[in-house]
Homo-oligomer: A and B are copies of this chain.
Amino acid sequence: MSDKFARRMGTVHRSFIREILKVTADPEIISFAGGLPNPELFPVHAMDTASREVFAAVGASALQYSTTEGDLGLRTIIASRYEQRGLQVDPDSILVTTGSQQILDIVAKVFLDRGDKVVIERPGYLGAIQAFSFFEPEFLTVTLESDGPNLVELEKRFEQGAKCFYAVPNFQNPSGVTYSLEKRQAVAELADKYGVLFIEDDPYGELRFLGEDLPSIYSLCHEPGLLCGSFSKIAAPGFRIGWVVAEKEVYDKLVIAKQASDLHTSTVAQAIMRRYLETNDIGSHVGLIKERYGRQRQCMVEMIHQYFPVGVSIIEPEGGMFLWGTLPEGVSSMDVFDTAIKKKVAFVPGRPFYVDGSGENTLRLNFSNSDEQKIEVGIKRLGECLKEFLQ
C-alpha cells in the first residue's frame, strides 16, 4: 500500500508531542508537557444551560446542515468583541472554522504551492508546521528574541522572496514570547514593504497577566493580512470553534477551501457557543482564567528561581500557557527528558519546534494545567534532574 501514498507523506509525521503524551500517561508523573487548558475552569454548567436553551428554542435547525461561513449571530458576537478591544471587524469578514487548526490547513490550501517560502518563528508552533508541511513549502525561520523576531533576519527572509509570515505575537506557543510594540510596528512595515502576507495567530491574546495589551500586527499592516482566533483557550476547546478574519477576495477563497474540507463547522457546537456568549459574561470568565493561570505562572517562575541550577535561562511570559527554558549549550533536553520521566516529571523537549533541527538545549513547560502544589513538587523534581546534567 505504501507505494500509493502521495509524495508529501514522506515529509509529514505524527506529532512528537502526541507521542510524548503517551509516555506521560502514568498518573504519578507531574506533567508540564501537554498544552491543555485547565478543565476546572470550563464553564460546564453554563454550557449545559446554553445547550438546553438551544434545543428548546431552535431544535431541529441546530441539527441541520448550515452555511460554510458559520452562524451569523456567532460571527456578530466575535466582531463586537473585537470592537470592544478597539478593532473594527465586519461579521462578513469572519469565517468560523473547526478550531484554529483548520485555519492553518485552509490558508495553506489557498496560498501554498510546493516550494513557496513561508517564514515561521524559531521556535515555531508545531500545529502550523504540521498543517503547512502537507503543502510542501520551504520553511524559512526567524529567530525569536525575548521581545519578538530578530528584525535583520526577518528582512533577509522577506528579501529571499517569502510569500507569507506566520506568527503568534502574544505569549507564543512554545516560547511564551510577546512582541514589543516597536517590533510589531517594524514587522508590519516590513510586511507592507515586501508585500508579504502576514498571518497573525492569536489564541492566547486575552490571557494577559502582566503588562499592557498591545495592538495586533494585523491592525498595523496597511496591506491586508489574516487574523486568527479561537474559543479553545477562553471558553473550551472541545467545541472546536475558531475563526479567521480576512478581506473579501481572500475570504471567498478560504470559503471554497473550507467547503471542500468539512462543508461547515458543527451547527450544534456553534449554536451552543453562541447561546453561551449571549447569556454569559465571557469577559468575567476570562478574568477567572487569567487570575488562576497568572498565579500558576507566578508559582512556576518562583519555583524555577528556587530550584533550577545556574545556567538555565527562562523567558518569563506575560500571559498564555507556556514558559520556555534554555539549557547551557551542549546539554540535550531529550536526555534530560528521559531522566525526568524516571523522576516522575515531564516537559516537552524543544527540538520539534525547530524545523532546522536545532534547539536541542531548549524545553517547554506548561503551567495552565497544574495547580500550585503540583508545580512546586514538579519543578523541584525537574530542578534536581537538571542539576545532575549541569554539574
Chain A residues near B (Cβ < 8 Å)? 1-2, 4-9, 12-15, 18, 36-37, 39-40, 42, 44-45, 47-48, 51-52, 55-56, 59-66, 68, 98-99, 101-102, 104-105, 109-113, 116, 127, 130-131, 133-135, 163-164, 197, 224, 232, 236-240, 247, 249-250, 252-253, 255-257, 259-269, 272
Contacts and interface: CB of A to CB of B under 8 A. Distances in A.
A5 B265 contact: no
B65 A249 contact: no
A55 B60 contact: no
A303 to B, nearest CB: 26
Contacts of A236: 63-64
Given A44-B59, A264-B240, A110 B65 contact: no
A101 B268 contact: no
Copies of this chain per assembly: 2
Contacts of A8: 109, 113
A131 B48 CA distance: 35
* List of 10 A-B pairs having minimum Cβ-Cβ separation, nearest first: A238-B267, A63-B236, A48-B55, A39-B60, A63-B238, A98-B262, A130-B260, A42-B63, A44-B59, A240-B266
A269 B236 CA distance: 13
B240 A262 contact: yes
Contacts of A68: 18
Nearest to A164: B4
Contacts of A55: 44-45, 47-48, 51
